[in-house]
Structure 1
């Protein structure tokens, strides 16, 4: 049985992306052409457009389509910008399709980004809290999108670097698996 991935991709945009208020047209156009099935093992290609996280490597997952679409829209990527994709092969391909220059970080050490001065940084895996090295890699005006998760529900969070510091806001709930080594630090709660 063969899968019509082009039809699945269009259905994903129409039923999961647009219905989640992802209205950025260049982003929708990129999501319609980037092959999600190309960044997962062939044995899991049939899951590429499901409303679920898909494991693409041991301990690494793609965000569900709705969540990656919303996170990318909040980051406001624009052609000509530079981006860093941390454990985010699908988001990297979408950003490249939108005309950004993308550096991919998906090896052993995700805590040390290559270079600095990025306009956009995105991770498809959840973390307990955004690592300082990631926020320091942002240019002035740069945006980081990551899901911070310390319990059963995570919060998609956008960081923006300004000349006088770093702004942070949560934008929606999300529940992707936590990247290995990036769980919440144990502590006390009051």
Structure 2
């Protein structure tokens, strides 16, 4: 009988103790975190961790996805990315790294349409199932290599990389509309920065790096050489 109340309390605590202190103060974003049920996007084995300040594995340790480090980002990181990107109701969004589909659900609740790319077939299906169960109709999951983007459906108003990269590929920047913006977590451990790029013209971009965090790598993005001469 207490389960719904316990979930409600845990969600409240997540918002008040993790997310607000991380300067997520947009009332629409906070209301969205109440409405989109994060626990419904967490694998059953980790459901108890749905509101904990940590990354949540999306596969068991023996599975290929887990070996790649695929996980849900910490709630405060998801919320801050959503707030700072500020997708609008008329916009089309491309997400790289669907994971469980939770970030796509948040984006779809703000934007007109979301395409989310997932390289792992099992995770692509998981995201598809979760979004369908949640009644999200304007987010489409595609199994694809996100490092290439999806030029055929671009340009996009918003591009979000739901994980970290050493650097943002020019191929993705080229898929932004003029005035569009991209967010990614860029760098190498232990120093990574939330990086926001706005396309200001056909060949010009403005970049800001307002906060630091660390996140697992997205698959198939170029890595720096480990050899030094």
Matched-pair contact (CA < 8 Å) for 1:127–1:146 = yes
How many Å apart are 1:9 and its aligned residue? 2.1
Matched, 1:90 2:84: no
5+ unaligned residues in a row in structure 2: which ranges? 60-64, 120-143
Q: Which has the higher helix share?
A: 2
Q: After the TM superposition, which residues 1-190 of structure 1 pair with which residues of structure 2 at under 5 Å, given as runs? A: 4-57=6-59, 58=65, 59=68, 60-88=70-98, 89-107=101-119, 108-114=144-150, 115-163=153-201, 164-182=203-221, 184-186=223-225
Whole-angstrom distance in 1 between the partners of 2:7 and 2:157: 31
How many Å apart are 1:100 and its aligned residue? 3.4
How many Å apart are 1:99 and its aligned residue? 4.1
5+ unaligned residues in a row in structure 1: which ranges? none
How many Å apart are 1:25 and its aligned residue? 1.5
Structure 1 residue ranges (4+ consecutive) displaced by more than 4 angstroms after TM superposition: none
- CA separation of 1:9/1:99 partners in 2, compared to 1, >3 Å: closer, same or farther? farther
How many Å apart are 1:10 and its aligned residue? 2.3
Q: TM-score, normalised by structure 1?
A: 0.89
How many Å apart are 1:183 and its aligned residue? 5.7
SS in 2 for 1:149: strand
Superimposed CA distance per residue, residues 53-97 of structure 1 (whole angstroms, 9 cap, x where no aligned partner): 112251322221111111221112122211111114322111112
Whole-angstrom distance in 2 between the partners of 1:39 and 1:24: 23
The count of residues paired between Structure 1 and Structure 2 equals: 189
Matched-pair contact (CA < 8 Å) for 1:78–1:100 = yes
SS in 2 for 1:69: helix
Superimposed CA distance per residue, residues 109-166 of structure 1 (whole angstroms, 9 cap, x where no aligned partner): 1112222121111122111111222211111111111101223121110011111511
**RMSD value over aligned CA atoms?**
2.1
Q: TM-score, normalised by structure 2?
A: 0.75
Whole-angstrom distance in 2 between the partners of 1:17 and 1:47: 16
